Structures are given as structure tokens and as C-alpha cells.
Structure 1
Amino acid sequence: MLQTGLLAMTFFLHPPASAEEGAEKTSTYLLDTTTETLLSATDPERPFPPASTAKLMTAAVVFKALEEGKLKLSTTFKVSEHAWRTGGAPARTATMFAELGSEIRVEDLLRGLIIQNANDAAIVIAEGMAGSEADFADLMNELAREIGLRNTRFANPTGYEAEGAHTSARDLAVLANYILDEFPQFYYLYSLPEFTWNNIFQRNRNPVLGEIRELDGMVSGFSETDGFNAVGSTVRGDRRFVAVVAGAPSESARIDALKRLLDSVEKDFEEVILYDAWEPVADARTFGGTKSGVALAAEAPVRVLLPRGDRHDYKIRVVYRGPLIAPVEKGQKAGELRILKNDVVTYRTSLVTMDRVEEGTMRTKALDSVTETLFGWW
């Protein structure tokens, strides 16, 4: 009986990469979102309270509901006494100064949430969509699981500290990339400089905006237990990047760490074309076909950012589930090319077959079965 399995081939990248990473005490993550390449990370899975970065997920839940037609920008939600007292003016926290008992459109609540980091906006959204903060947190955690956040649990839409609530630098980068990729039509909200509500003018409350070259969003936060954090995004050249910093001891340290991450893109990395489009990368074994193997290739050039200098920590791995059963079509998705740094996947792209492999004769299939029995496929 034919047995298929996950097969892998590994190639090492030769010099020249990266200088030793600095001794950061904070968690950091730097992602090239254009190719979804992980450029650098320091303690990326360390859990910490999300603080106001939780509002990224609050916004994402709203964006998704709008995209699916469950909400409209013109939908209105009422400001409850709980939302007003807990997140509004009486709470003396970041607020859009929503008036008690008023009806506010989702579009304006999003502006308050994103531009003013408003806690009253977050609570009004949660109560309007789910009935309570706790039930809305369930929606947040459901979406977190759906998009692959693996070390995150939200307890409320504001990011107020709560037992069991945590996230990680890696998960915040994945969440930011999800928003950028799935809801680009709403990203402009993160760079709007000001918003007036209830006749009160407020500038954008994100303290890193305007402090870092070309940074155009997203959110910053602070927790008593972990210090200052931030998620920032910018375009450099023809690529967009997301940088995350958490655990910084001060506002200035947070800005400096975020700036170092984003400036390292041009200082420490260079673009490398590892393979051209349709250039053979590896051969995959086939079963029951007129040929015993077929070449695999990427449909587009494999363009990645790699460190300047020594790249001995990097290697290329080709993974596919095989052998491929004939007939095999040309252009059939068959595997994946991965780049690993110290066994952590930093980049991946699909590989397809370069040729068609016709189904073989009964004799060919019998010989393949004997080969598998005697020697295995790898």
C-alpha cells in the first residue's frame, strides 16, 4: 500500500548577514508584511498585558462585521451608563467624551476608538455588538484563534488590565498584518491627525506618530506591570513593515526601540532574489507516472530581505507531501519553500510543479510499489 508523508530537503545559505542582535530587554518583532518575512525578533512569545493594543482586535472585530454586512457605518449604538462611567469623562482615561444616553454611529465610534484611543468608544461598541464587554471579548478571542494568534487572550475591548489577559509581540504583529491585508480601506483611520466629538477637539493620541519617519499607524499602550508597548507600521521603498515593541521602561525608550527596528530595514538588510519565477528549486518524487519525479518552482520570483554579512544561521527547506500521485498537472500546488533562521520559519512561499506527469502503465505502478516497499521514498 502506498504511504505518503511530509518530505523535506534543506539547503544552507552561504555568506554573506546579520550582526548580533542587541541585548534588548523588551520584546520586539519586525515583519516585512509585503512578503510576510520575519526579519528579527526578541523574546517574541513572552506574554504581557495587551493594554491599549487590545483595541487593534476591537477594531478588527468591527471591520470584519462591516465586511460581512453584519454592521453598517451608519449603524448607531447607545452610550450606556456603564460605558460612560467606565470609559468616558468620569473615568479620567482616554475618551471621546461620548454623552450619556446619546446614539453614536459606528463610523464615529471607530474614529474615537482609533484616533483618540477612546475607552468609552470601545465599551459602546462592545455593548452594541455583543450586549456586554465579556461577550464581546469572546468575539475577540474567537477571531484571535481564527487568524492564528497562539499566545493571546483578551478580557475586554479596552485593554484595561484583567486577570488572564495577555498577548505577545508575535501575535500583535500577526494581528496588525491581518488588518492591513484584509481591511486596507480602514487603515487610513490610524493616521488621521485629529477628531472632534461633542464639541471637544483632540489630536491623535498615538504618541509615536510623527516621531518616526514615515510611520503612519497603528497603536500604543501602557500597563503598570509591563511598561510601554506599541505597534507601528510604515512603508520603506516598495515594502510595508510592522514593528512591535513591548516592555519598554519609558515613552522615550519605546520610541527609540521602535525607531531602531524600522531603521534596521535599510541599515541591516538587503533584498536577495533566491530564485527567479519558474526556476527549478527541487525535485518531488512521483508515484505511478511516466516519470519518477517532477521539478518544483515558485510562480513568482522569491525576493526576500536577508541580513547583510554572515548568513550562517539561515537555511532553505523545501517541504512537500509525497510522493505525488500521477497524473500530476503542470502548475499544481505541491509544496512549500521555507527560509529558517535557527530553525524558526521566517519566510514561506508555495511551490508548484513545472511539468505534467502522465499516469503510467500497470507495470510502472507495480515497479513503483516494489521500490517503495524495498527502499522507501526518501
Structure 2
Amino acid sequence: MQPKTFSILPVVFAIAAGALAPSSMSFAASHAAKRATHAKPTADAPASAPVAAQTAVAGGPPALPAKAWLLMDFDSGEVLASANPDEPLPPASLTKMMTSFLVEQALRSGKLKKEDLVSVSQNAWCRGSSTESCMYLPLNSQATVIDILRGIIIQSGNDASKAIAEHLAGSEEGFAKLMNAEAQRLGMTHTHFMNATGLPDPEHKASARDLAILARAIIRDSADYYPIYAEREFKYNGIKQGNRNALLYTDPTVDGLKTGHTQEAGYCLVTSSKRNGMRLITVILNTNSAQARADETRTLLGWGFGNFEKATPIQPNTVVATAKVNFGKVDTVAAALASPWSVTVPRGQQVHTSVQLKPGLEAPVAKGAVIGKVVADSNGKPVGEAPLIAQADVERAGLMLRTWQHVAKLFGK
């Protein structure tokens, strides 16, 4: 089958006045973090020098003064641009994305219920100092799982994270094993967790790519709980705290995910934004201030939405190819997309498609069975693929017809 070519027209979108400033370091973050996540507030660290970035877009992405950063397309998981994406770095409270994800999965499976009570041990309890972020759970008290989840996501509570870790695994050490097992399952190959909070440990590391993979899993698999990541505040035990993600207050397209800060990790932020049907995930690691992590994220989102667009290479319900079927009552079956399909490509670039059908397909073939795939590429680079399914049942032929077909194959007919 000859490749098909589709011309993609650029889509112009407007960015709210004042949302972006000319320089990536000149944004106003009106709701910057009021306290460091895990350490006493200190003077902002010197800005990191921008590191070399990679992208398919001519001219390259913006220069961001973070130790590592990444921009990912949510639908495909494709990395659209990155700098230093695979270096394991201290993730600070970005760690709590894995803690909350495990809680969400336990809720989905029925292992936990939202109204289950979680006890606050001496080990989990925050002593009320300003040296770490807390939900301020009273010692020896109990809180519901859903309140604990909000305390982890919105308030970044170390006490909430430790309490649920002990509840699910008996100890924080045991919970870290669950975290690492889940990281391995998701394909987070440059990550190792030592605790549920992100408190500094020489062996506690995660890469920008891995954190984007985790964010994508949360958005995809925790749909019932993902709206919590967009909540701006949470009040518990008479104490109301605001979400430290400044973009939730300034950009209505942003709906998550998590901030983090320690002296070692610098200021970190993982964010997701959806505009015009396209969702992007950003990761900023080890920048020098709460404002800088918000500024750099705004810059990266603006650049991403300005330089990439969604394309539909093949319309739904379109027969893409006809597959040959051996030993069936009919010789062929139509192949079409299993579901609507789109890809993210640089604006204005053409998309080409090619079809790969399973060789030696034999009856019986069930309607809906995967019998091949269609692959899309743009500018010579693969940008996505989708399965092709049979559009009808193909019954196996009777013995006499199959025998004749065998003989015909032997003679090349």
C-alpha cells in the first residue's frame, strides 16, 4: 500500500494577555510557595546554566536554566523536547506522585476505601515546625484515606505520606519497595525510591523522563482522583493550606500535578496542561526558585503548544487495507482502525502513513481481532502507530476447500 500524505494546517491559538513575558525569567508567580517542602527556606540558589536540549523542531526549544527538563505529549508518550532527561536527580516532593498513585490504585482495586481510617504514628507525626511540609495530623489520631490523599497532593504532607505508607505496607521501608516495583512496571528505568516523602537520601533519585512517565500514568489510570491535583487549597484540622503549584492560579489550562523543593533538589515542578484537545506534560528539575520553576514551565508550555499540533492521519471508520486470509471461506478481510487516532507533530509538517499487516494470516479470524498496524511518520521520524482490526468474521473453510488451497499454494496459485 502506498503511503498517504496529509497536509496539516497550522492552528493559531491566543495566549491570555500577561500570561507570558518576553523572557523566561521575567514571569510573576503570584502564588509562589510560602515555605520549602522539606527544608527551611533559604536564599534562592544561583540559576543553573541552560543545558543542551533535543527536539525535532527547527530552531530548537527555549534555553531553560534548570538542571534537567522535559516536554512530553500525553497521548503518545513521545518526548517532544528535553534536556538531560535521563540523569537521576533528587526529586524532593515529586516523590509523592508515586505515593499518591499507589493510594489511587489501591482505591481502584478495592484494597482501600475512601472512608477507611489511617492512624498517625509517632514516626509519621509532624511536630509542627516550619522545617517541613505537613498536613498537621494530630499524633495518634486517625484520618480518612481520601483526606490523607488530599493532604499528600495539595498540602504535600510528609505526615500524610508516612501514615499511608505504614497503613499500606506496615512501614515506610516496606512501602518504598512497593514504589520501586511500580516504577519498574511503568518503565521508570532511572529511578530509585527510599521513602514516601522525598526527604533527602543519597540513593533516592528520579529522572525527568521517569517523572513524566509517572505523571502520564496518574492522568491515564487515576481519572477518578486526578481532579484533586487541580484543587487550589485544602483545609484539615482547622488549618487551610494552598496548593504550591503557582500555575493553577494563573493558567486555567493547567490541572496538575506536583511541586517539590529541598536544598539538594532545588525547586522542581511537574505540570500538565490541555489546550485545544492536546495535553502536554512538563518536568522542571533543580531550578533556583519557586518563581523560576513556574516561569520555566510557562515558557515550555507556551513553546510546546506554539510549535506542535494534533493531526488525524486517518479518519475513523475508514478501511485502511485489505488483508489476505489463508484457509478461509473468503480470501480477504477489510482492516480498519480500532478507535479514533491522532498524533502530535511539529506545526505545518506533513504526516505519512504506512500499513503493516500480519503475514500468513489464517482463518478463523474474529471480527475485531488485531491483524496489523498503521505507522505514522513526519519528516522521516516515527510519530505514532495504531492497531488495525478485522472488520468481519472469516470462518475456516471446509476440509475439501482447505485441501485445494494447500495444493494451490504449492503450485504458487
TM-score higher than 0.5 here?
A: yes
Structure-2 separation of matches of 1:256 and 1:54: 22
- Return the offset for 1:306: 2.1
2:97 to 50, 53, 56: 56
In structure 2, the partner of 1:36 is 76
Structure-1 separation of matches of 2:175 and 2:273: 30
1:122 to 155, 161, 166: 161
Instruction: Work out whether 1:216 is the aligned partner of 2:230.
Output: no
Instruction: Work out whether 1:22 is the aligned partner of 2:22.
Output: no
Residues 60, 201 of structure 1: alpha-carbon distance in 2 compared, 3 angstrom cutoff: same
- Return the offset for 1:213: 4.1
Query: Structure 2: which amino acid aligns with 1:325?
Result: E
Question: Which structure is higher in helix share?
Answer: 1
Structural mapping, 1:153-302, within 5 Å? 153-282=192-321, 284-289=323-328, 294-302=333-341
Instruction: Work out whether 1:73 is the aligned partner of 2:114.
Output: yes
Structure-1 separation of matches of 2:324 and 2:286: 48
Unpaired runs of 5+ in structure 2? 9-55
- Return the offset for 1:224: 4.0
Asked if the contact 1:88/1:120 (under 8 Å) is kept, the reply is no
- Return the offset for 1:357: 4.5
SS state at 2:167 partner: helix
Residues 335, 93 of structure 1: alpha-carbon distance in 2 compared, 3 angstrom cutoff: same
- Return the offset for 1:111: 1.8
Aligned residues: 358
SS state at 2:371 partner: strand
In structure 1, the partner of 2:18 is none
Structure-1 separation of matches of 2:60 and 2:2: 25
Asked if the contact 1:19/1:309 (under 8 Å) is kept, the reply is no
Structure-2 separation of matches of 1:56 and 1:219: 7
In structure 1, the partner of 2:41 is none
Instruction: Please give the per-residue CA displacement for 1:115-138, whole angstroms capped at 9, x wherever unaligned.
Output: 111111111111122111110011
Structure-2 separation of matches of 1:356 and 1:13: 31
SS state at 2:124 partner: helix
- Return the offset for 1:192: 2.1
Question: Which structure is higher in strand share?
Answer: 1
Instruction: Please give the per-residue CA displacement for 1:218-242, whole angstroms capped at 9, x wherever unaligned.
Output: 1011354453322112331334433
- Return the offset for 1:338: 3.5
Residues 19, 137 of structure 1: alpha-carbon distance in 2 compared, 3 angstrom cutoff: same
Unpaired runs of 5+ in structure 1? 1-8, 372-378
Residues 173, 279 of structure 1: alpha-carbon distance in 2 compared, 3 angstrom cutoff: same
SS state at 1:81 partner: coil
Instruction: Please give the per-residue CA displacement for 1:20-64, whole angstroms capped at 9, x wherever unaligned.
Output: 3226463212223xx435361314433322221111110111111
Asked if the contact 1:28/1:246 (under 8 Å) is kept, the reply is no
Structure-2 separation of matches of 1:10 and 1:252: 51
Residues 176, 91 of structure 1: alpha-carbon distance in 2 compared, 3 angstrom cutoff: same
Instruction: Please give the per-residue CA displacement for 1:75-110, whole angstroms capped at 9, x wherever unaligned.
Output: 2222222222xx542472111122222222222211
- Return the offset for 1:368: 3.8
Could you state the TM-score of these two structures normalised by the residue count of structure 1?
A: 0.81
Could you state the TM-score of these two structures normalised by the residue count of structure 2?
A: 0.75
Deviates more, 1:220-229 or 1:115-124: 220-229
In structure 2, the partner of 1:374 is none
- Return the offset for 1:112: 1.3
Structure-1 separation of matches of 2:254 and 2:394: 49
